[in-house]
Amino acid sequence: MMKLNPEIDRTSWQVTSEWVRCNLFSSWWSSALTLLGLAVSYWVLWAVLDWAVFTAIFTGSDGSACRIPGAGACWPFITHKFKLFMYGRYPVEELWRVNLTYVLALGGLVPLMLPRVPGKLWLSVYMLVGFPVIAYFLLTGAEWLGLPIVTTDLWGGLLVTLVVACVGIAASFPLGIILALARRSDLPLIKWLAIIFIEFVRGVPLVTVLFFASVMLPLFLPENVTFDKLMRALIGVALFSAAYMAEVVRGGLQAIPRGQFEAADALGMSYPQKMGFIVLPQALKLVIPGIVNSFIALFKDTSLVLIIGLFDLLGIVKQAAQSDAKWFAPQTAVTGYVFAAFVFWLFCFGMSRYSAWLETRLNAGQRH
Amino acid sequence: MTRATKARNEQRSLRSFTDYFYDPKTRGIVLQLIVAVLLVWLVWATVDNTIRNLRAQGIASGFGFLWNTAGFDISQSLIPYTSTDSHGRAFLVGLLNTLLVAVVGIVLATVLGFVIGVARLSRNWLVSTLASVYIETVRNVPPLLMLFAVYFGVLKTLPSPRNSIELPFTSYLNLRGLYIPRPIWVEGIWIVLLALLVGIVAAIWIRRRAEKKRIETGEQGTVLLPVLGCVLGLPALAFVLAGFPVTFDVPQLGRFNLKGGLVIMPEFMALVVGLTLYTAAFIAEIVRSGILSVHRGQREAAAALGLHDGQVMRLVILPQALRVIIPPLTNQYLNLTKNSSLAVAIGYPDLVSVFAGTTLNLTNQAVEVVLMTMGVYLFLSLCTSLFMNWFNARVALVER
């Protein structure tokens, strides 16, 4: 009997070899590239494995084991300093407060990020109003609750990174929306103030904004008002990312058809009603990927606070690698940076995957 | 005055307070007045506080410090500079160092970014996978961390000058940087430069003629060889004829240190390498989306007209892709320039490090120094956006 579909009878070996021929060796040029790629990946993989596993040092209570010639990664440096990298010099007996804050944050954030969970409104209210207040008192302490005060100079490591990133995100989001609305306003004074602010901030590097916040801001304030270093960095980061957020939101506002504005006007809605119920819900939904992208950028930018003397994850790794003579070894610094890079990568890659997933979901909803 | 206008005027004067309250125009004016008053108050309070604080701390104000002696050394300078020069000159040195890093970084990042972007679209599975892995790794790590990894992790662990790593062309690599021969141009080099100039003019003329011929007759002559001959061959010939008008100051390995040669600082290398690797990942994504934005039909139509692969890319795909690529690309160039301010963290003497760092610490004039530094970056981004507007106007699709 004649076979109607020859595809069905092909062995898996035939399928594989055909795939290899089409995707790796389709022409002499492609074959050369494949060989080159193989050589590069072999070399990189071997170098990484050799450094991270084969010649790496896994045990030891100080850097002496890592000082032998030809030693690779110095992993005990990470395990011994793990608490320092995560919490800085936060008092050990108070660490439960930091962990509780993380749990409370996750408890609000995870249901908020999963599209199927109901009660988004109350969750957002909790995350935007309730949680910041709780987190503030938990982390800094409150005598009337029996929580000893922990000053911010003791904070460090991933804790500072997360605090700067989260406060930056939470502050820049509403600020950015206000700036974007102001930039689209019909009132010339408000429009021009927004344009000047946004373009000024977007035109300068974050380093100079942080310098501004740390050395100029104290001069602008009355003598009796002082902020601590962390607060100044937070102000700088929030102002900086608000300008970028404003441009993302403006992109969404511009994509809303005029008819939506006019229909809201025709229904007799006031400006806050028109924006809050009609325009913003549509505009923000459109620019969710852009918003997540600017969150990723903000998360990476938090590492810059070490320039004005705060010890975020990168800053504390750098300090531990450079100033602790006990751990001094050729590969200590690299091991520390690889660890920090991995932590940053986990957060940023996670956010970008989430944004991509959300994007396809939203697109799927719009297609029919 | 007619009766109608009279009636209308009467009506207007009868409007009550609530009418004004709900009038959008009146509301707008009142709102702007409130904002203006708040703004004036804010500016006044800021200036007043600043003057008070400066007086209390005994800090001078004004730009007079720019002419005072700086009193500090700068490890790399493109113009002659000593510690007896002024702060103003230190500012200039920092600015030039920033521009040097930016230009070198932009050139390298563009090349690497285009290569990776094209590789990402390759039909070869291995090549495109490697490109994606690179992009997804680098994009999700802070640039400052990459700088530290290159600087403290690699360049600072190199051997001391005594045990320098020897490279080809009598170059040496060690803890203090990369030592390469410094070319010294002697008399007769102007002949080579002249030949180069003549070569470029001739090459442009050959191209123009070939283009004209193609439009008139449709014949596609090869211009690559004659053009290369003019641009490269002519100067090379002049170089030989002038009797090799160049000598090299070769770095020499002494007992403790290397002498002579051109030294490329490790800080500079780390900054260039870190910024290049980081920005290239973003440029690659821009290039990829630019090429993907050109409709399939364009490629198929070009192939149907008988153009071969290279021509399809050069004459059909790239001109259309560039329209999408250039605006975000200039944005990345600007980002790279702004990110070069991370130099302050590894001690490369760029504008922020020299001026907003050392000068600020010595003079304490925070307001002037920070504003001047910000002004430079603002000026650069203003120039970039002006260029972008001009470019967009030039390449915008001319639609009916």
3-state SS record for chain B: CCHHHHHHHHHHHHCCHHHHHCCHHHHHHHHHHHHHHHHHHHHHHHHHHHHHHHHHHCCCCCCHHHHCECCCCCCCCCCCCCCCCEHHHHHHHHHHHHHHHHHHHHHHHHHHHHHHHHHHCCCCHHHHHHHHHHHHHHHCCCHHHHHHHHHHHHHHHCCCHHHCEEECCCEEEECCEEEECEEEECCCHHHHHHHHHHHHHHHHHHHHHHHHHHHHHCCCCCCHHHHHHHHHHHHHHHHHHCCCCEEEECCEECCCCEECCEEECHHHHHHHHHHHHHHHHHHHHHHHHHHHCCCHHHHHHHHHCCCCHHHHHHHHHHHHHHHHHHHHHHHHHHHHHHHHHHHHHCCCCCHHHHHHHHHHHHHCCHHHHHHHHHHHHHHHHHHHHHHHHHHHHHHCCCCC
Assess whether B144 and B105 both reside in one domain. Answer: yes
B66 is a domain residue: no
- Beta carbon pairs, A and B, within 8 Å: 160
Helix or strand or coil: residue A347?
Answer: helix
Query: Which has the minimum average pLDDT: A84-98, A352-366, B330-344?
Result: A352-366
Helix or strand or coil: residue A187?
Answer: coil
A297 touches chain B (CB under 8 A): no
Chain B residue numbers with beta carbons less than 8 Å from the beta carbon of A318 are 148, 152
Q: Do B341 and A296 touch (CB under 8 A)?
A: no
Residues in chain B: 400
Tokens 């690889």 belong to residue: A338
B73 is a domain residue: no
B342 is a domain residue: yes
Q: Do A208 and B39 touch (CB under 8 A)?
A: no
Assess whether B222 and B368 both reside in one domain. Answer: no
CA distance A198 to A183: 9
Which residues in chain A (32-51) have CB-CB distances under 8 A to chain B?
Answer: 33-34, 37-38, 40-41
Task: Give me the number of domains chain B comprises.
Answer: 3
Nearest to B137 among A34, A202, A345 (CB): A345
B107 is a domain residue: yes
Structure tokens that stand for B373 in this block: 């530094």
B148 touches chain A (CB under 8 A): yes
* Contact yes or no for A239/A215 (Cβ under 8 A): no
B360 touches chain A (CB under 8 A): yes
Q: Per-residue pLDDT averaged across A5-33, rounded?
A: 78
B68 is a domain residue: no
Assess whether B32 and B153 both reside in one domain. Answer: no
CA distance B63 to A159: 41
A21 is a domain residue: no
CA distance B230 to B223: 11
Q: Do A314 and B122 touch (CB under 8 A)?
A: no
Structure tokens that stand for B40 in this block: 């004036």
B75 is a domain residue: no
Q: What is the CA radius of gyration of chain A?
A: 26
Q: Do A34 and B342 touch (CB under 8 A)?
A: no
Rounded to the nearest angstrom, the gap between the alpha carbon of residue B346 and the centroid of all alpha carbons in its chain is 19
The pLDDT of residue B2: 60
Q: Per-residue pLDDT averaged across A219-241, rounded?
A: 86
Chain A residue numbers with beta carbons less than 8 Å from the beta carbon of B338 are 204-206
Residue A3 pLDDT grade (very low, low, confident, very high; cuts 50, 70, 90) = low
Task: Give me the number of domains chain A comprises.
Answer: 1
* Contact yes or no for A304/A206 (Cβ under 8 A): yes
Q: What is the CA radius of gyration of chain B?
A: 30
Q: How many CB atoms lie within 10 A of CB A75?
A: 19
For residue A250, the distance in angstroms to the closest alpha carbon of chain B comes to 17
A360 is a domain residue: yes
Q: What digits encode the pLDDT tens for the residues A27-58?
A: 888 888 889 989 999 999 998 898 888 888 88
CA distance B131 to B246: 41
CA distance A229 to A297: 22
Helix (H) or strand (E) segment spanning residue A264: helix A258-266
Q: Do B377 and A211 touch (CB under 8 A)?
A: no
For residue A312, the distance in angstroms to the closest alpha carbon of chain B comes to 12
Mutate one of A201, A271, A292, A337 to test the B interface: name it (highest B CB count within 10 A): A337
User: Which of B206, B230, B234, B210 minimizes the C-alpha distance to B220?
Assistant: B210
A111 is a domain residue: no
Q: Do B378 and A200 touch (CB under 8 A)?
A: yes
Residues of chain B with pLDDT under 50: 1, 400
The pLDDT of residue B223: 73
The pLDDT of residue A1: 47
For residue B375, the distance in angstroms to the closest alpha carbon of chain A comes to 8
Q: What digits encode the pLDDT tens for the residues B220-267?
A: 767 778 888 888 888 888 888 777 777 777 777 776 677 777 888 889
Tokens 């035939």 belong to residue: A14
A125 is a domain residue: no
For residue A117, the distance in angstroms to the closest alpha carbon of chain B comes to 29
Q: Give residue A2's region: left, alpha or beta (phi > 0; psi -120 to 50).
A: beta
Residue A6 pLDDT grade (very low, low, confident, very high; cuts 50, 70, 90) = low
ipTM field: 0.85
Assess whether B165 and B187 both reside in one domain. Answer: no
Q: How many CB atoms lie within 10 A of CB B19?
A: 11
What angle is formed at CA B74 by the lines to CA B72 and CA B79, rounded to 5 degrees? 120
pTM higher than 0.90: no
Please provide the DSSP assignment of A94-159 as one string. GHHHHHHHHHHHHHHHHHHHSTT-S-HHHHHHIIIIIHHHHHHHHHH-BGGGTBPP--GGGB-BHH
For residue A50, the distance in angstroms to the closest alpha carbon of chain B comes to 16
The pLDDT of residue B378: 92
Residue A9 has pLDDT above 90, yes or no: no
For residue B327, the distance in angstroms to the closest alpha carbon of chain A comes to 16
A216 is a domain residue: yes
A101 is a domain residue: no
Which residues in chain A (219-238) have CB-CB distances under 8 A to chain B?
Answer: 219-223
For residue B125, the distance in angstroms to the closest alpha carbon of chain A comes to 5
B67 is a domain residue: no
A122 is a domain residue: no
A129 is a domain residue: no
Residue A291 has pLDDT above 70, yes or no: yes
For residue B360, the distance in angstroms to the closest alpha carbon of chain A comes to 9
Q: Do B144 and A212 touch (CB under 8 A)?
A: no
Q: Do B145 and A218 touch (CB under 8 A)?
A: no
Assess whether B272 and B346 both reside in one domain. Answer: yes
Which residues in chain B (322-351) have CB-CB distances under 8 A to chain A?
Answer: 338-339, 341-342, 344-345
B362 is a domain residue: yes
Assess whether B116 and B231 both reside in one domain. Answer: no
Assess whether B197 and B170 both reside in one domain. Answer: no
Q: Do A223 and B142 touch (CB under 8 A)?
A: no
Strand B246-249 and strand B182-185: the pairing is: antiparallel
Q: Per-residue pLDDT averaged across A104-109, rounded?
A: 86
Tokens 């850097």 belong to residue: A63
* Contact yes or no for A335/A73 (Cβ under 8 A): yes
Q: Domain range spanning residue A314?
A: 75-90+150-367
Nearest to A208 among B31, B377, B380 (CB): B377
A312 touches chain B (CB under 8 A): no
CATH number at A228 reads 1.10.3720.10
Assess whether B35 and B172 both reside in one domain. Answer: no
CA distance B342 to B270: 11
Residue A182 has pLDDT above 70, yes or no: yes
Nearest to B370 among A212, A223, A322 (CB): A212
Q: Domain range spanning residue B190?
A: 183-241
